[in-house]
Amino acid sequence: MPGMKHERLYLAPVAGVDEAGRGPLAGPVVAAAVILPERGVPRGIDDSKKLSATERARLCGRLLDCAIVGVGIVEAEEIDTLNIYWATMKAMTVAVDQLAATLGCAPGHVLVDGNRLPRWGYAATPIVGGDALSRSIAAASIVAKHTRDTIMIRHHESYPHYNWASNKGYGCATHRRALVEHGPSPLHRRSFAPVAQTVLPL
């Protein structure tokens, strides 16, 4: 389980940052920034990929109640304009800016999952595999993943033939077949090759 070793190395309060949704063919990329409380941290915080949807929903609710949280969302149209890398960097920046506004000042340090940092003015450290090492980053991964999944489930109601309630916009075979049959929706990332191609390999 991720611990607080990395958080203790830096000036408090330390925020963890992670994103969800770099790979899907549709929908936004979402980033979250989380500062955990000194006491009352929910049990079971782990890399969001290791948790069930039910556990993520429960923990996300608890984190929104007890932690300082910022969320950044960059939609598909802007992903196509910026490219997915810079869109992810923007989502992370928006998340930390929102967290800082709630906090009333910049966090003492920011821990970011991965090996790259946005171009921002925050003191920060990238940590490869951080969602498995840092509890703050793991918490951010839960908030980002649950937030994005909730968005895609809501969009499923308008575009049910893509089955986003199940695949969350990722390019599984059923999604790609629906893309061939119905064409791209306004929520598809048209710069991504499987969407841009006229005939898609199944």
Residue type, 184: P
pLDDT digit string, tens, across residues 116-156? 999 999 999 999 999 999 999 999 999 999 999 999 999 99
Known binding residue 19? Answer is yes
Contacts with 49 (C-beta within 8 Å, 6 or more apart), sequence order: 131, 141, 145
pLDDT digit string, tens, across residues 78-128? 999 999 999 999 999 999 999 999 999 999 999 999 999 999 999 999 999
State how far the Cα of 172 lies from the Cα of 193, in Å rounded to an integer. Answer: 14
Flag whether 185 is in a domain: no
Number of domains into which the chain is organized: 1
State how far the Cα of 19 lies from the Cα of 31, in Å rounded to an integer. Answer: 4
Q: Which two tokens stand for residue 171?
A: 């390019």
Task: Indicate the pTM of the whole model.
Answer: 0.96
Q: How much is the pLDDT for 95? A: 98
Query: Within a 10 A sphere around the Cβ of 85, how many other Cβ atoms?
Result: 12
The residue range of the domain holding 115 is 7-157
CATH number (domain holding residue 47): 3.30.420.10
Known binding residue 113? Answer is yes
